[in-house]
Amino acid sequence: MHNERMPVTFSIAFVAGVTPTKWTRIWAERRPDVELEVFRTDSAEQETVLRDGRADVSLVRLPINEEGLSLIALYNEIPVVVAAKDHFIADADSVVVADLVDEHLLQDPDEVPEWRDAAVEVRTGSRRALPPMRDMDETMELVAAGVGIVILPHSVARLHSRKDVVSKPVEDTAESRIALAWRTVDTTPDVEEFIGIVRGRTPDSSRKNAALPTDEPVKKEKKTAKAKAAAKAVRAAAAAAKPATARKTQSAGRTRNSPSPQAGKRRGGR
């Protein structure tokens, strides 16, 4: 009886709206020996999948609890407001929060603090309870029916786009930040490899960075110091070999701040 070797896998989670295809394709080309497991999460689980070990890395939408995690910022997304197709925003190129203060937001106001701090229904206490919504598809149904609006990262709005809704950029709300996260204690060679792919490193540079000793810059500094010392010794020997009169003539020359003889003649001739 012999033991079969279990296949090596690398798990990548990504929050809704993120498209990891370009990175997973490069991984498949560089590491065909490591099977990829790629799955989508929602915002509530994007951090949990790391802490419970379901994912080696997770493409997350910030903020998250960063304790015990390492993160690399990747890019930002603009927020958009999504409303029914006949809503007034359909004729605008973009909007600001002040345009939306009279609207009913079909999400937790804390998710959009800029709107929360200016909204009439929040300020007056007239905000009504949210209807049951199991997922974003059901939320979009209500948006299309004119029940309210949502303000989402552009990629999420695009993921759930419909013909009966419109979306426009909201200029004065914070952008959504996308990052790569992993457990700091589990920064394995595979994790380092994926970091290199996300950062756009070539296969050669990825291997070089993974194997690079931390003291290599110190070695370069030592070589530079040695070269400087050698050059200084050569200069000192050359100076010692010159005649004394030559050294005296050299020291009598003008400094950088001294006026030139020609300049003195010009001033004296005026």
What is the CATH number that goes with domain 9-77+176-211? 3.40.190.10
pLDDT band at 213 (very low <50, low <70, confident <90, very high): very low
* Residue 14 bridge partners (DSSP): 40, 59
* Confidence at residue 172, expressed as pLDDT on a 0 to 100 scale: 95
Element (H, E) at 216: helix 216-241
CATH class of 79-169: alpha beta
* Confidence at residue 237, expressed as pLDDT on a 0 to 100 scale: 56
Question: Using the 8-state DSSP alphabet, how is residue 149 labeled?
Answer: B
How many angstroms separate the Cα of 208 from the Cα of each of 211, 258, 270? Answer: 5, 52, 68
Quick: pLDDT tens for 157-208: 999 999 999 999 999 999 999 999 999 999 999 999 999 999 998 876 644 4
Q: pTM for the whole thing?
A: 0.69
Q: CATH 3.40.190.10 spans which residues of the chain? A: 9-77+176-211, 79-169
- Asked if residue 116 lies in contact with residue 191, where contact means CB atoms within 8 angstroms, the answer is no
* Rounded Cα distance, 121 and 105, in Å: 9
Q: Which residues contact 147 (CB under 8 A, 6 or more apart)?
A: 104, 106, 131
Question: Using the 8-state DSSP alphabet, how is residue 62 labeled?
Answer: S
* Rounded Cα distance, 72 and 182, in Å: 9
**92-96, 105-109, 170-174, 214-218: least confident range:** 214-218
